C-alpha cells in the first residue's frame, strides 16, 4: 500500500512538472525567422491606399475605379467612406 501511495505521488509530481514546463511562456522561446521578417504596418499597400478599397483588404486588391475585388468578390467601397473599422459613422 505504501508503494502505491509513493508511485501515485511521484506520478502527480511528474505530471504537474510536465504540465507547467510544457505550457510555459512562449515568449521565452523565440522564433528567429519571426525576428528577421518584416511586416508592412496596417494601412500601407494598394489594398489600403487606393481610391476604392475592398472592405476585407485582400492582398493586391484596390482600384482607382469602382468595381469588385478580384480575390473575394466583394464590392469596392470609396476610400473616403472607409473608416478604421470599415463602416461609416
Give domain status of residue 61, yes or no: yes
- 2 CA to centre of own chain: 51
Q: Please count the structural domains in the chain.
A: 1
pLDDT tens per residue, range 49-67: 889 988 888 888 889 999 9
* Helix (H) or strand (E) segment spanning residue 47: helix 46-49
Structure pTM?
0.46
Q: Which residues contact 35 (CB under 8 A, 6 or more apart)?
A: none
Give domain status of residue 54, yes or no: yes
Query: For residue 55, what are the domain limits?
Result: 42-84
Model confidence band, residue 17 (pLDDT cutoffs 50, 70, 90)? confident
Give domain status of residue 14, yes or no: no
Name the one residue in this structure whose C-alpha cell is 489594398.
47
The percent helix, strand, coil of the chain (3-state, each to 5) is 40, 10, 50
Model confidence band, residue 42 (pLDDT cutoffs 50, 70, 90)? low
Q: Which range is least confidently modeled, 17-26, 33-42, 44-53? A: 33-42
The grid coordinates of residue 25 equal 511562456
Residue 35 pLDDT more than 60? no
Amino acid at each position: 500500500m505504501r508503494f502505491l501511495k509513493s508511485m501515485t505521488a511521484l506520478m502527480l509530481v511528474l505530471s504537474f512538472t510536465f504540465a507547467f514546463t510544457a505550457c510555459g511562456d512562449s515568449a521565452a522561446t523565440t522564433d528567429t525567422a519571426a525576428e528577421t521578417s518584416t511586416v508592412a504596418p496596417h494601412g500601407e499597400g494598394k489594398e489600403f491606399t487606393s481610391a476604392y478599397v475592398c472592405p476585407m483588404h485582400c492582398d493586391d486588391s484596390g482600384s482607382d475605379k469602382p468595381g469588385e475585388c478580384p480575390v473575394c468578390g466583394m464590392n469596392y467601397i470609396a476610400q473616403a467612406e472607409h473608416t478604421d473599422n470599415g463602416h461609416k459613422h
